[in-house]
Amino acid sequence: MKAFNTFLTTELKLSFRGIDMFIFAICMPVIILVLIGIINGNKVAFEGANYTFLEQSFGAISTIAICAGGLMGLPLVLAGYREQKILKRLKVTPISPILLLAVQLIIYMIYSIISLVLIFIVAKLFWNLNIKGNILQFLGAYFLVMLSMFSIGLMVGGIAKNSKSAGSIASILYFPMLIFSGATLPYEVMPGLMQKIVDLLPLTQGIKTLKASVLGLSIDNVIFPIILMILLFVVCSTISIKFFKWE
């Protein structure tokens, strides 16, 4: 526990000293929220809907920080530590790789939660966001999305050859998911065929669950995404621990 706490505080400080997560996980979601708010304001999502466009997008925006941390921050930090031989130095100490992975996981969890609180406050203050569904259900879905995205990141960071390949894999995962899964470009404005394609992205499924919880839609539609995300988490985290490479 001593090692865990010390590593968490130190690595958190180091992460704050680097500016990129502040930009991508803290600022970017707020900017996108504000843009959507300014453009669509309190307009209803579609004719006859009992929720606004912004409310419809809130679930998606809440995942931007998760993507930044899980698909960019996490794999790059881990692969970088391996490439710089910091992991090799740790291998000749009694540390367990699980501790190291857990510390980084929690750091990006903290970023995501800060971002969630921040966008909630902004959306509530300026556009009177109204969560119609069950808030616990929303939080449950949020953590599920977080775990599944982070486990992808752990897997990439844990087994990528070097930070360059981790960077490429991270970009391949990050940008399409961020743009096409509804996190930045609203799913609703996409043409039908495109919706069918992006449905294959795990994040799209996660966002559907979140959206259902914000808007109070029926949970029947979201059993599949939940199973998918749990499965993803189990598979990716098992791979990342089993095939973890120090060097």
Residues found near other proteins in the complex (CB under 8 A): 2-3, 5-7, 10-11, 13-14, 17-18, 81, 84-86, 88-96, 246-247
Judged by beta carbon, residue 12 or residue 217, the one nearer other proteins is 12
Dump the DSSP string for 222-243.
GHHHHHHHHHHHHHHHHHHHHT
Strand ranges for 60-195 from DSSP E? none
Give buried/exposed letters for 192-223 (b at 16+ CB in 10 A, else e).
Answer: eeeeeebeebbbbbbbbbbbbbbbebeeeebe
Partners of 52 in beta bridges = 44
The Cα angle at residue 142 between residues 121 and 149, in degrees rounded to 5: 120
Minimum CB–partner distance for residue 227 and other proteins (Å): 36
Judged by beta carbon, residue 3 or residue 201, the one nearer other proteins is 3
Judged by beta carbon, residue 81 or residue 233, the one nearer other proteins is 81
The Cα angle at residue 137 between residues 29 and 57, in degrees rounded to 5: 30
Minimum CB–partner distance for residue 239 and other proteins (Å): 21
Minimum CB–partner distance for residue 247 and other proteins (Å): 7
Coil/strand/helix, residue 84: coil
Judged by beta carbon, residue 32 or residue 100, the one nearer other proteins is 100
Judged by beta carbon, residue 100 or residue 178, the one nearer other proteins is 100
Two structure tokens written together for 134: 């069950």
Judged by beta carbon, residue 5 or residue 50, the one nearer other proteins is 5
Minimum CB–partner distance for residue 176 and other proteins (Å): 29
Minimum CB–partner distance for residue 234 and other proteins (Å): 26
CA distance readout (Å), 208 to 23, 42, 174, 182, 227: 26, 21, 18, 9, 13
Minimum CB–partner distance for residue 94 and other proteins (Å): 5
